[in-house]
């Protein structure tokens, strides 16, 4: 698949690198052009000059940017997300890491869906810390990608991409369930912060219903 990854930080590089190793064609975009070229070259991907440029020929767009940049990134995509699958891997965490910026209601994923009119949005990968996105086999067991979407094409894309890098896709329901996925990710992040963890903890749903893991 042709994938545009917006963001070249911990998450962008980790997911982008894993997808390249799985045989996908990845193009990065971020603000810093030199870093974008460097990260692309390190993982065997391409670098675009803008988010819109990366997204133009992509089948799937992955958002790996700070939630605070949502409006800016949506504007930078310049209509290129319409009709395309957009996977939102972000977590809407407040800048001071005191909680979720969405605590008054809604989810970051639903906000992106509003901002990116016509995009086929799925929430996925946000509950996996970057180290596990980079190396999904690190625990010696198949890890879960919990995902939420209303759209069949987005569902198919998440299943394809997650499976291709050795993860088990688990559907948790409609896009509105992104609220719980974002809360779950925050629970894990806060735990890591207060317990001084090694940033490798994650959730695996034991006994998941067959309907949630069906391809
Ligand atoms: N770190 C984790 O383990 C983890 C796990 C799951 C989800 N998340 C979530 O994933 C997102 C990214 O996390 P991260 O740790 O990868 O952050 P990060 O290392 O700070 O990287 C953020 C990336 O976003 C880019 N960016 C910022 N504003 C942009 C804009 N307006 N247009 C295009 N690109 C822009 C930055 O580009 P420049 O460098 O060019 O400025 C950078 O490449 C966050 O929402 C985070 O909550 C993080």
* Residues 2-33 pLDDT 10s: 999 999 999 999 999 999 999 999 999 999 99
CA 110, CA 179: separation in Å to the nearest integer? Answer: 9
What average pLDDT does range 191-212 have in this prediction? Answer: 96
CA 113, CA 88: separation in Å to the nearest integer? Answer: 9
Residue 214: which pLDDT band, with cuts at 50, 70 and 90? confident
- Ligand 1 atom with least separation from CA of 39: 43
What average pLDDT does range 56-75 have in this prediction? Answer: 97
**What residue owns the CA closest to ligand 1's atom 45?**
90
- Residue 105, pLDDT score: 85
Checking if the pLDDT of 103 tops 80, the result is: no
pTM of the model: 0.98
Give the end-to-end CA distance of the chain in Å, rounded to a whole number. 17
Q: What is the CATH number of the domain that holds 8?
A: 3.40.50.720
Ligand 1 binding residues, C-beta < 6 A: 6-12, 30-32, 35, 51, 64-67, 69, 72-73, 76, 89-91, 93, 126, 129-130
What average pLDDT does range 208-212 have in this prediction? Answer: 95
Which residues share a beta bridge with 27?
4, 46
By CB neighbour count within 10 A (0-12 exposed, 13-18 middle, 19+ buried), where does 115 fall? middle
User: How many A from CA of 110 to the centre of ligand 1?
Assistant: 18
User: How many A from CA of 68 to the centre of ligand 1?
Assistant: 10
Ligand 1 binding pocket mutation candidate from 17, 30, 51 (most atoms within 8 A of CB): 30
By CB neighbour count within 10 A (0-12 exposed, 13-18 middle, 19+ buried), where does 93 fall? buried
* Residues 130-160 pLDDT 10s: 999 999 988 999 999 999 999 999 999 999 9
- Residue 21, pLDDT score: 98
What average pLDDT does range 96-104 have in this prediction? Answer: 91
**What residue owns the CA closest to ligand 1's atom 6?**
126
Coil/strand/helix, residue 25: strand
CA dihedral 66, 16, 48, 88 (to 10 degrees): -40
Which residues share a beta bridge with 88?
63, 123
Number of domains, the chain: 1
User: How many A from CA of 65 to the centre of ligand 1?
Assistant: 3
Coil/strand/helix, residue 52: helix
What average pLDDT does range 170-187 have in this prediction? Answer: 98
Give the number of other CB atoms < 10 A from CB of residue 33.
13
CA dihedral 103, 104, 110, 116 (to 10 degrees): -110
- Residue 97, pLDDT score: 94
**What residue owns the CA closest to ligand 1's atom 19?**
9
Cα 162 to its chain centre, rounded Å, is 11
Domain range for residue 151? 2-213
The secondary element (H helix, E strand) that includes residue 181 is helix 178-195
102, 96 Cβ separation under 8 angstroms: no
Percent of the chain with pLDDT over 70: 100
Q: Where are the beta strands (DSSP E) in 70-171?
A: 85-88, 120-123, 144-149, 168-171
User: How many A from CA of 44 to the centre of ligand 1?
Assistant: 19
- Ligand 1 atom with least separation from CA of 129: 3
* Residues 35-64 pLDDT 10s: 999 999 999 999 999 999 999 999 999 999
30, 63 Cβ separation under 8 angstroms: no
DSSP string of 118-143, one letter each residue: T-EEEE-STTS-HHHHH-TTTTSSPP
């Amino acid at each position: 698949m042709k994938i545009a990854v917006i963001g070249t930080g911990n998450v962008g590089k980790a997911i982008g690198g894993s997808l390249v190793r799985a045989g996908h064609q990845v193009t990065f975009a971020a603000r810093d052009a030199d870093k974008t070229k460097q990260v692309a070259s390190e993982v065997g991907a391409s670098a675009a000059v803008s988010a819109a440029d990366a997204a133009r020929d992509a089948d799937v767009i992955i958002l790996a940017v700070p939630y605070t940049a949502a409006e800016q990134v949506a504007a930078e995509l310049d209509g290129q997300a319409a009709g395309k699958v957009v996977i939102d891997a972000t977590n809407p965490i407040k800048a001071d890491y005191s909680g979720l910026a969405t605590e008054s209601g809604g989810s970051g994923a639903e906000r992106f869906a509003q901002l990116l009119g016509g995009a086929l949005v799925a929430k996925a990968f946000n509950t996996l810390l970057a180290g596990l996105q980079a190396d999904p086999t690190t625990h010696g067991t198949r890890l879960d990608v919990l995902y939420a979407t209303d759209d069949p094409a987005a569902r198919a894309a998440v299943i394809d991409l997650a499976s291709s890098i050795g993860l088990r896709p688990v559907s948790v329901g409609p896009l509105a369930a992104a609220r719980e996925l974002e809360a779950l990710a925050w629970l894990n992040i806060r735990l890591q912060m207060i317990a001084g963890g090694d940033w490798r903890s994650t959730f695996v749903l034991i006994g998941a219903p067959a309907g949630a893991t069906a391809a």
